[in-house]
Structure 1
Amino acid sequence: MSQDLPMGLRALVVDDEKPVLDELVWLLGRDERIASVRAAQSGTEALRVLEGGDVDLVFLDVAMPGLNGLEIAKLLARFTHSPRIVFVTAHDAHAVDAFELNAVDYLLKPIREERLRESVRRATADGTTSQPGNDTIAVELGGVTRFVSRSTVTYAEAQGDYVRLHTLDGTSHLIRTPLGALADEWDGAGFVRIHRSTVINLAHVREVRMVSGRCSIVVPFGASPVELQVARRHVRAVRERIQDRAT
């Protein structure tokens, strides 16, 4: 299980691509919450470091030759005190697998510094982001119950008495709850209402567009990003929330 994190985090970055590895190490070195950063270019090298037990937070590339990030995470789950995990990848196809392994976050390349800082914040948020019970929604379809991580939800939209959740991997799930109640409950988790029928996850905002006085937000949804309109009365509050999370 994950251990309580110290004030200064000891981070490990694992990526077989040297330019990506160097950039992540540099960006993490700029974060005042990170005490030290180590690097590994393979899964085998990463395990040697991790077995030393002096890593609090590991950034794992999903697709690597040999031992990949998901396989390393499964091995870490057996550790008595395992570090918290952030997956890093150029594709979002493995998002669901990642969160089933209790990852703190799932970062898409190219990495933006403000998004990386958000991952560190999640890792230090008193453990709430790595507690499955606080971040899991049960959804039912055809008599089958699945568990979806709230962190994978990019936006939610009202559909009558239901809400449809749209996730990173391009799937959608219908849950029976009013959008207003969901917006209030999830506000502290980084979700914000942009329209009477739409709530977005600020952590997954890729672009904010202003055209002819109208504002829209771009969020990922599978292979195709989605552009969502922001109601005029929500524009100021939404932009302030986005700015707050980027600083």
Structure 2
Amino acid sequence: MMRVLIADDERPARDELGYLLRQIEGIEVVGEAASGEDVLAQVRGLYPEVLFLDIQLPDASGVDIARQLFIEGMNPVVVFVTAFDQYAVEAFDINAVDYLLKPIHEERLAETIVRLQKRLESANSSGIEEKIERASAPKKENRPEQIMRIPDQPVEFLEKLDMIYQALNPTPNKLKIEENGRIYLIPSSEILYATIEDRLVRVVTEQKSYLTNYTLNELEEILGSSFHRVHKSYLANVDQIESIVPWFNNTYNLIMKDRYEIPVSRTNVKSFRQRLGL
């Protein structure tokens, strides 16, 4: 029997998820919580194997709660429940963390349960099973066993939580870029330019460049007024222009602070001149 705790500050959401879970054979809903403090107390007392955890509770972030439980050695398998948009959900996908997107659909929940069962069975067959007993506590006859989820690399698990938190709570004026399983937050002021490369868009800073899935049109909207479309293939940070070189047909070449040279097209030269008062 899989012991499950539901954590959501909205009663209708708890009722809905609880109802769906109780329809699945082998699931026991051992408790419900409406706040971060309540979650911590119930996990410590009920020892659930699985925690369905709303990412936003009134008094705490679900990520912070997961981190605190991990630090205490109370490690139920966490399934984050979120109503965030698709880009934020990518934070969970990238970090291989289970999640459910609201509103919850029966088919998606069933898939999650299958993954949970396989994970717990694998942990059990590997001998990763412990009773949650305090040395000084009196023995209780009906205290449940909890299959402990012990990550191979605890530091990596905490790093995953940090990256999810950053993705869901981005610092203003920073661009989110995913690369090699990590989410980087790049201050827009450090970006020199963006350019099309092999049907993708490369974002360039003085220290590094990143190949992204953004379009130049999307970046123009995201990065704001410091950036100007100077060419169909280039978006330039006007604050990072080191010099401007007059070129053929009354156009210009821009020398950026990394010494890279960017053309200003005839189509864009008028708006560029107006922007810089040339």
TM-score by length of 1: 0.47
**TM-score scaled by structure 2?**
0.42
Say which structure is richer in helix.
Answer: 2
Of structures 1 and 2, the one with the larger relative CO (CA 8 A, separation 6+) is 1
Instruction: Indicate the structure (1 or 2) with the bigger Cα radius of gyration.
Output: 2
